[in-house]
Amino acid sequence: MRFFSDNAASVHPAVLEALTRANRVDTAYDGDALSRSLDGAFSDLFETEVAAIWVSSGTAANALALAALCPPYRGIVCHRDSHIENDEAGAPEFYTGGAKLILADGAGAKLSPTSIAERIDAIAIDVHRVQPAAISITNATEYGRVYGPADVAAIGDLAKARGLRFHMDGARFANAVVYSGASPADLTWRAGVEALSFGFIKNGGMSAEVLVCFDTSIADEIRIRRKRAGHLASKGRYLAAQVLALLAEDRWLANARAANEGAATLAAAAGARLLHPVEANEVFLRAAPDEAAGLRARGFEFYDWADGEIRFVVSWDQPPPEVEALAAALARL
């Protein structure tokens, strides 16, 4: 029973069907009808005019957005435990041409206006220090915490006051929307977010994410940078089709809801062992080595996170009996 990662999950059948339906001759790159419909589809979803640009990975979406928001000689404020700092092999540095990630703190990998201000106020304003140009937050965070609309807006206000651009890594944006109950618009541009890496792959997709530009003035540059990075697929319709299939019938929300509910079930069973409130589809808890071994012996697969800490991720397609079995096992610890 795999609770390793939502990256290990399968692809939603509707996505595969959409690929089959898309399988005919059409214009190359992003000139096909499906790709051309994305701006409209995401503008509807976000209740404002956006540019919606498919890419083939969340790392690419993040790095492209950051390259458009931060010049090479400035920095991006992010959490010390963020994906862009720890899990992208330096993609932000590569794409921006050497911008510096400026690390701030906060419980559950969640930044706050206070923690951000503290960090950047310590940077003397002169030509010797790398000055910040942008803030990037992850929603839901790397520890499964969710920024609600007010959380995001508070950071958005700070960004505006300090002249900083604002990016959201939404690899698990769907889980954040479901948990917060907020509209996609309230969780992003209405709260000041200028670019969103909207994740689909962990949530039932195969190989397509969408970089949503609320500041549409950066879209042209991003399209050039996408090509230059080798992310302009020559048969783009197969990426667009995936995304459209997940938007259809609100599958993206249903998938995230299923994953969140599974995690909530685990959280209830884990009780006081939880390291972080469970708000999305990740569950971090304390477990002694022998306890972890015991769980593994019963067939549960998961990551050791740190000494005495383990992580479970519930995927959109996780069979409920697996969740129940794990919840029971956790309750028995």
Residues 224-283 that bind a second copy (CB under 8 A): 224-225, 227-235, 238-239
Nearest alpha carbon to residue 102 among 136, 57, 67: 136
Q: Which of 37, 48, 86, 183 binds a second copy (CB under 8 A)?
A: 86
Q: Which is nearer to a second copy, 68 or 285 (CB)?
A: 68
Q: Which is nearer to a second copy, 186 or 209 (CB)?
A: 209
Q: Which long-range contacts (CB under 8 A, 24 or more apart) does 28-34 make?
A: 28/234, 28/235, 28/236, 29/232, 29/233, 29/234, 29/236, 30/54, 30/223, 30/232, 30/233, 30/236, 30/240, 31/236, 32/236, 32/237, 32/240, 33/237, 34/236, 34/237, 34/240, 34/241, 34/244
Q: Which of 44, 47, 49, 87 binds a second copy (CB under 8 A)?
A: 87
**Contact between 304 and a second copy (CB under 8 A)?**
no
What is the C-alpha to C-alpha distance for residues 113 and 118, in angstroms, rounded to an integer? 8
Q: How far is the CB of 199 from a second copy (least distance, A)?
A: 10
Nearest alpha carbon to residue 197 among 30, 4, 56, 315: 56
**Contact between 309 and a second copy (CB under 8 A)?**
no
3-class secondary structure, 2: strand
Q: How far is the CB of 319 from a second copy (least distance, A)?
A: 10
Q: How far is the CB of 246 from a second copy (least distance, A)?
A: 14
User: Quick one: tokens of 28?
Assistant: 């190359």
Q: How far is the CB of 13 from a second copy (least distance, A)?
A: 8
Q: Which is nearer to a second copy, 23 or 217 (CB)?
A: 23
Q: How far is the CB of 6 from a second copy (least distance, A)?
A: 9
**Bridging pattern class, strands 132-138 and 75-79:** parallel
**Contact between 23 and a second copy (CB under 8 A)?**
yes
Q: Which stretch binds a second copy (CB under 8 A): 136-144, 174-182, 216-224, 283-291?
A: 216-224
User: Quick one: tokens of 84?
Assistant: 């862009």
What is the C-alpha to C-alpha distance for residues 78 and 44, in angstroms, rounded to an integer? 29
Q: For residue 329, count other CB atoms closer than 10 A to its CB.
A: 18
Print the binding letters for residues 115-154 with a second copy: x by CB under 8 A, - otherwise.
Answer: ------------xxxx------------------------
Residues 6+ apart with CB under 8 A from 267: 274, 277, 278, 283
Q: Which stretch binds a second copy (CB under 8 A): 83-91, 154-162, 260-268, 271-279?
A: 83-91
Q: Which is nearer to a second copy, 48 or 86 (CB)?
A: 86
Site for a second copy in 33-62 (CB under 8 A): 55-62
Q: How far is the CB of 290 from a second copy (least distance, A)?
A: 23
Backbone angles phi, psi at 304, to 5 degrees: -75, 125
Q: Which of 35, 82, 175, 315 binds a second copy (CB under 8 A)?
A: 315
Q: How far is the CB of 91 from a second copy (least distance, A)?
A: 5
**Contact between 186 and a second copy (CB under 8 A)?**
no
**Contact between 88 and a second copy (CB under 8 A)?**
yes
- Scan for tokens 């969640």, then name that residue: 110
**For residues 235 and 60, is the Cβ–Cβ distance under 8 A?**
no
